Amino acid sequence: MSFRKSNRLMPPLTRWTGAPALGAALLTATALPGHADEALADLVEEVAPSVVTIIAKQDKAPATPRGFDPERHPFGEFFRRFGAPEGFDLPQQGPRQGLGSGFILDEAGYIVTNHHVVDGANTVTVRLNDDRSFEAEVIGTDPLTDIALLRIDAGNTLPAVEFGDSDAIRVGEDVVAVGNPFGLSSTVTTGIVSAKGRNISEGPYAEFLQTDAAINKGNSGGPLFNMEGEVVGVNSAIYSPTGGSVGLGFAVTSNIVETIVADLRDDGQVDRGWLGVSIQNLNPDIAAAMGLDMANGALVSDVVADSPADGALKSGDVIVAFDGKEVTSSADLPRLVGTTKIGTESTLKVLRNGQEQEVTVTIGAHQLASADLDQPADAAPATALGVTVAPLTETARAEIGVGDEVTGVVVMSLEPDSPAAKAGLKRGDVIVKLGAQETDSPKALKAALESEKTDPALMLINRGGSQIFVAVEIA
């Protein structure tokens, strides 16, 4: 089995290409236990005008060599994803179009969807419930939570929905999903919240509600409503052996989405809080060795010098609560800290030498020491890679989800339209090799850039624990 994004293919989480628009509408609603048919119909009638179709277009799809069998070539996966080098006879491929879902959050035209719905698109079009279409501006995206914020100018106020409290919703409560599966706009499905706090290996900052409401490809970015008509989640992935819904759908929690969207709306990027500790899970053996009864909390293995935690926390502390919210494992802490406003004085409950105590820390801006990768003054501008990178510290590993076996430098930012951006690199990718040279430090990457003679160069990156090749122009 594998997790599947609701519109695009990307192992190990399978992401589908969008289905062709069918130009039809399907509305299905099943009465939920304890709710009259009329009540559900009233809810759908109220929220459906706020749900939109997202049409993402790429000008040109990656080419595959004619007669080429990628399974038998050592760089087959690279060629399949990114095209073949010069000398191969390539078929011409036209534009590619994918469909997803979204919802209107503000009557001025702000729209929420998934990052993976619009990622790599040259143009994004929003089709409203009344069949009007508008080209959208991508205000900003956050790959680490799979959220994107768009804006359209419709010339009039639009029907908007509001966020609900995803922390307050209970397992077993009824929910309604509205979206665009298989291009069938305004499709309504119903179910319950099957579980809360799911971690499906989508990064340290995302948390999911699980639902058995039918979610299929094309539902990505659509809202999951509670019975008050509030958005409690953004549908993002399913778990399926077949590619279709088997009753295991996952939605990014509204409390996380609300924070991310507010940040994106402010300046187009996400500014995450930073504590400055390396953490690990507290297993029963370690807990017993520390004289603790329970293996709950995040164990501090190291404190970054001159970080917000420096002087407040110590190696060996076990963080069991953050600002009144329980920390049961190391996966909880990055989400809590990352969504905290920079400059906030946060209270942490810790176990130190077996004794419980509280410490106060002023949350800082998430920033790792980065290296300047500018080329020498006499180099041509086209030789710049266009990235800012940082050493792959233990803190960075925890935040981007890679193990100790991975070496390289982590991409902190990319310049728009830079060679790295055009090659498909993303913030949080780990550059493992450039050509034949390992890039285990910013200095090593800079040296590799200066000495690499092949253009485009073959780059090996690690993305969330999976390694892929990309071709990047450096000269």
Q: Where are the alpha helices (DSSP H) in 290-402?
A: 332-338, 394-400
Give first-to-last CA distance, the chain, whole Å.
42
Concerning whether 220 is annotated as a catalytic residue, the answer is: yes
Residue pair 180/222 in contact (Cβ under 8 Å)? The answer is: yes
Pairing of β 249-253 and β 231-240: antiparallel
d(CA 303, CA 64) in angstroms, rounded, equals 48
Which of 220, 307, 330, 346 does the annotation list as catalytic? 220
Burial of 125: CB neighbours in 10 Å, binned 0-12, 13-18, 19+: middle
Q: Which of 142, 146, 212, 332 is catalytic?
A: 146
Out of 6, 50, 116, 317, the active site residue is 116
293 catalytically annotated: no
Whether a cis peptide bond, with omega within 30° of 0, leads into 456 is: yes
**Residue 294: which of 332, 351, 333 has the closest Cα?**
351
Cα(144)–Cα(4) distance, integer angstroms: 16
Record the tokens describing residue 299, joined without a space: 């164990």
Distance CA 348, CA 358 (A): 6
Beta carbons of 111 and 124 less than 8 angstroms apart = no
Structural Rg of the chain based on CA atoms: 23
Q: Which residues are catalytic?
A: 116, 146, 220
